Amino acid sequence: MVSVVVHRFRFVPQQLSTFTSRSPSPVTTSPPRLRFSVSSSSSPSPLDAQIEKRPRFMEFPHLSVVHRNLMEEIFSAIEGKLGSQLLPHTLPPDVQFFQNQSGTSQGSLYIRTGNEFSSVDVLLGSWLHCELPSGALDIASLSAYLNLSTVAPHFVLEFIKSSPTSLVLLLDLLPRKDLVLHQDYLETFYSNTQLERWRQELGKLPEVQPYFLSSLRLRPLFSPTANLIRIDCSCKEEGEAVGQSRMDEIIHDHIGPIAKEVLGIWLDHCACRVGGREVGESEQALLGKRDHVIKDTAVKVDLISNLPRLFGPDVASRVISAIQGIFDK
């Protein structure tokens, strides 16, 4: 555990300076990370012990306070409801936090698998921060995949921030059946749960535009009620600070409540569904095949095609292997 702390400590100054130089607004300033800098002492205080319980992933050091709070709330809601079914996270420290040689790209990964009584297969959280020539790119995501004991959809929430005033949101319950052939599935998990109202609600905001994933392979993974949107709060006349503030307002007043609603639907109707019918053997085989494609596509399109250039081949390979290792179990 000390090595994690040292590892953390070593990169704090660089991380802070990098961040501060790009984000002058108080809204998006990272909180002081002194709490980590004291934990290299030989006798940890009770506070240290408490901090150590908090996974590195939960820091989201490059998100605004409002955005970080939302991620924490979502994460707490999932762990609060499912935590007792999840095994402890066991990733090696250099996958819990990783960065490229120059420290311009940083990331954190958090994975917990479900125990034998759980319908959860994997809970996967991550954040990435990359200083690119075009500006900083920040990605924060939380996905929860169910296992073959249920046909219910997976949960996915991802934010891709390419500037302080531009954000892409992917929020959906990923279907695990072909919705053309299984209209009862569409009815149960999408129509009856009224997910569409939340998609429409977000779509009404003037800053929101539908977002089309560039990968054609990713698009069919999403449901017809998926929230795939780009929020653009840039405003040349009023300056970046006003745009950032409006972005926080949208996250706090609109995206947050809706993300919690969708998560609530997933927790109640999918992850903890009581009375769901048993999944037959042949159905399990097809479900497993589809789940494999979903995870494989996510890894290939999202990670294998991006991580090596952002983090170098060694770090990328380490992180991808950790995810694939869990997915292939």
Q: Report how far residue 186's alpha carbon sits from residue 39's, in angstroms, rounded to the nearest whole number.
A: 50
Instruction: Mark residues 266-305: x for contact with its own copies by CB under 8 A, - for none.
Output: -----------------------xx--xx--x--------
CA pair distance 70, 23, nearest whole angstrom: 19
Residues 19-38 that bind its own copies (CB under 8 A): none
**Helix orientation angle between 256-266 and 196-203, rounded to the nearest 10 degrees:** 170
Which of 28, 113, 188, 225 lies at the binding interface for its own copies (CB under 8 A)? 225
Q: Which is nearer to its own copies, 289 or 309 (CB)?
A: 289
Who contacts 258 (Cβ-Cβ below 8 Å, separation ≥6)?
171, 198, 201, 202, 227
φ and ψ at 106, to 5 degrees? -135, 155
CB distance 175 to 189 below 8 Å: yes
The verdict on 327 binding its own copies (CB under 8 A) reads no
d(CA 127, CA 202): 24
Single out the residue of 1, 20, 196, 314 in contact with its own copies (rule: CB under 8 A): 196
Question: Do 251 and 70 touch, CB atoms closer than 8 A?
Answer: yes
Residue 264 in the binding site for its own copies (CB under 8 A): no
Question: Which pair of structure tokens corresponds to residue 234?
Answer: 């840039």
Query: Which residue, 51 or 179, is less far from its own copies as judged by CB?
Result: 179
Pair type for strands 208-210 and 154-163 = unpaired
Residue 185: Cβ within 10 Å count: 17
Q: How far is the CB of 217 from its own copies (least distance, A)?
A: 6
Q: How many residues form the binding site for its own copies (CB under 8 A)? A: 25
Q: Is 60 left (phi over 0), alpha (psi -120 to 50) or beta?
A: left
The residue within the footprint of its own copies, chosen from 26, 31, 92, 224 (CB under 8 A), is 224
Shortest distance, position 178 Cβ to its own copies, whole Å: 4
Please, what is the minimum distance in Å from the beta carbon of residue 66 to its own copies? 28
Question: Regarding beta strands 120-132 and 97-99, do their DSSP bridges make them parallel or antiparallel, or are they unpaired?
Answer: unpaired
Could you tell me which residues come within 8 angstroms of residue 288 by beta carbon, excluding any fewer than 6 positions away?
148
219 lies in the binding site for its own copies (CB under 8 A) = yes
Site residues for its own copies, 171-190, by CB under 8 A, read: 178-181, 183, 186, 190
Binding mask of the shown chain, residues 52 to 91, with x at each position contacting its own copies by CB under 8 A:
----------------------------------------
Q: Which is nearer to its own copies, 56 or 199 (CB)?
A: 199
Shortest distance in whole angstroms from residue 224 CB to its own copies = 4
Shortest distance (Å) from residue 242 CB to its own copies: 24
Q: How far is CA 123 from the centre of its chain?
A: 10
151 lies in the site for its own copies, by CB under 8 A: no
Of the candidates 79, 115, 53, 63, which has an alpha carbon nearest to the alpha carbon of residue 263? 79
Catalog residues that contact its own copies under the rule CB under 8 A: 178-181, 183, 186, 190-191, 196, 199, 203, 210, 212, 216-217, 219-221, 224-225, 289-290, 293-294, 297
